[in-house]
A and B are shown apart, each in its own frame.
Chain A
């Protein structure tokens, strides 16, 4: 064995039973590479750790294990080590067979120095690229593994959030049951759809006695969890300030102050609210509309009157003042309340239905039974925007005066 000192850019193992060839190859390559040369394959196997060199140059015809057999031994250990086969002109078929078995190149004897240098250079480059590829693949696998871990964590967190939303939704339904109390002389119907599991649309009936009740219909700004939490505050405000001995103007002003003070100006949620006080004895509804889109009074005779907003949103400006209005109901009249989600829905081309169109649809339904009106209005939203394209919660509530 002839051993050369370590060089700069890669390690080459040379095997040739011709001493002179070994010396020539070593001479050509040792300036650039670390070169170790052997006279037979068995010595190379004994002297080297297979897989710990970068390129092999081997004669095909060797005493004992031949060059092709050595090639196969190297490939078992590391298939990414390029093997250059050197052979005489008469053994060209053997060289081609070596290529088929995975040799990187073959060189016929006699060879030129440049031929050897070029072939080794290409083999080294191939080796470098293969090793780089292996490193990159390993890094990619590691990153993929990290991503999979993160993805599993996100899925687990999503699952937790879904569960929490489900719980919040159940709690919200306890706070705001989607059932309307039995009120003698009033028939009610409700349709709703929320964008998320929890909603910012709320309503409440407070029955004061056999002939008087209040209906609160409200839409909290935003949607999702913040809107739902804020709606719990609104519920508290309603519980505190809606009573038969508190006038509507005063009640609205108190709720406004309560909601502003509760937020301590840290957030800017607010609620649009319709507050109606029905006296079934005389059919008069006293109301204040703080931003709910014009509820419709659909008269039995076919006329439709809209109760336009007459007060500022609740919980937005301090010292807001709320004006009371009155309207009378006759047997057969219907009140339709709806949130802005009912007309702020967009079609496939992102065109909003719009309040005017919604009101037109309402007018066209005049004279129909209340249940039909509410169902048709709701269906129209679905028809317009598709059941999957709601951008805001939709609630439509109908109250019919008279059995």
Chain B
């Protein structure tokens, strides 16, 4: 079960708040929401992972797909507030070498304030 809500705190900045478990069966739903956001051509899309409880291997592949599509459109993709367990998965996959990962407070300071 996953719930994604969209916030546009500033012009050209979109935050996708992800709540729940991200796995193979709801990838299509999240991809649909992602496509809607990317078509708005923002400068930054942030994935708020504070309430992301679980991610499976297929969903990790989807995040890489998001990164590639964002890069192709010159959109900055930022992840913030990863839980320790999800952070561990990102580190294991060495995703932290490729993704921009930060905290919610840092994101606010850098992009919103």
A residues bordering B, Cβ < 8 Å? Answer: 219, 221-223, 265, 267-270, 272, 291, 293, 309, 311-313, 316-317, 320, 340, 344, 352, 392
Sampled A-B contacts (23; CB under 8 Å) = A219-B57, A221-B57, A222-B24, A222-B58, A222-B61, A265-B68, A268-B62, A268-B64, A268-B65, A270-B57, A270-B60, A270-B64, A291-B92, A291-B93, A293-B92, A309-B92, A309-B94, A312-B95, A312-B97, A316-B61, A340-B57, A352-B54, A392-B56
Contact of A316 among B56, B58, B64, B92 (CB under 8 A): B64
B56 neighbours in A (Cβ, 8 Å): 222, 344, 392
What 4 A-B pairs are tightest by C-beta distance, nearest first?
Answer: A312-B94, A268-B61, A221-B57, A222-B58
A219 neighbours in B (Cβ, 8 Å): 57
Q: B93 contacts A316, CB within 8 Å?
A: yes
Contact of B93 among A265, A313, A344 (CB under 8 A): A313
A316 to chain B, nearest CB (A): 5
Interface string of B40-72 (1 = CB under 8 A from A): 000000000000001011101110110010000
- How far is A219 from B58 in the complex, measured between Cα atoms in Å? 12
Q: How many residues of B contact A (CB 8 A)?
A: 17
A272 neighbours in B (Cβ, 8 Å): 57, 93
- Tally of contacts, chain A with chain B, CB under 8 A: 49
Q: Given that A222-B24, A309-B92 are known contacts, is A317 also in contact with B61, CB under 8 Å in the complex? A: no
Using CB atoms, name the residue of chain A closest to B65.
A268
- How far is A41 from B64 in the complex, measured between Cα atoms in Å? 86
Can you add 18 more A-B contacts, CB < 8 Å, to A268-B61, A311-B94, A312-B95?
A: A219-B57, A221-B61, A222-B56, A222-B58, A223-B24, A267-B61, A268-B62, A268-B64, A269-B61, A270-B57, A291-B92, A309-B92, A309-B94, A312-B93, A312-B94, A317-B64, A317-B94, A320-B94
B61 neighbours in A (Cβ, 8 Å): 221-222, 267-270, 316
- How far is A223 from B59 in the complex, measured between Cα atoms in Å? 12
Q: B94 contacts A221, CB within 8 Å?
A: no
Q: Is the interface of A mostly helix, strand, loop or mixed?
A: loop
- How far is A242 from B11 in the complex, measured between Cα atoms in Å? 51
- How far is A268 from B24 in the complex, measured between Cα atoms in Å? 12
- How far is A169 from B65 in the complex, measured between Cα atoms in Å? 29
- How far is A340 from B55 in the complex, measured between Cα atoms in Å? 12
- How far is A228 from B70 in the complex, measured between Cα atoms in Å? 29
Using CB atoms, name the residue of chain A closest to B62.
A268
B94 neighbours in A (Cβ, 8 Å): 291, 309, 311-313, 317, 320
- How far is A221 from B63 in the complex, measured between Cα atoms in Å? 13
- How far is A344 from B56 in the complex, measured between Cα atoms in Å? 9
- How far is A124 from B107 in the complex, measured between Cα atoms in Å? 74
- How far is A315 from B95 in the complex, measured between Cα atoms in Å? 13
- How far is A265 from B67 in the complex, measured between Cα atoms in Å? 12
- How far is A293 from B57 in the complex, measured between Cα atoms in Å? 13
- How far is A213 from B7 in the complex, measured between Cα atoms in Å? 54
Using CB atoms, name the residue of chain B closest to A310.
B94
A153 to chain B, nearest CB (A): 25
A117 to chain B, nearest CB (A): 61
B96 to chain A, nearest CB (A): 10
Q: B24 contacts A317, CB within 8 Å?
A: no
Using CB atoms, name the residue of chain B closest to A200.
B57
Using CB atoms, name the residue of chain A closest to B53.
A352
- How far is A267 from B93 in the complex, measured between Cα atoms in Å? 18
- How far is A219 from B95 in the complex, measured between Cα atoms in Å? 17
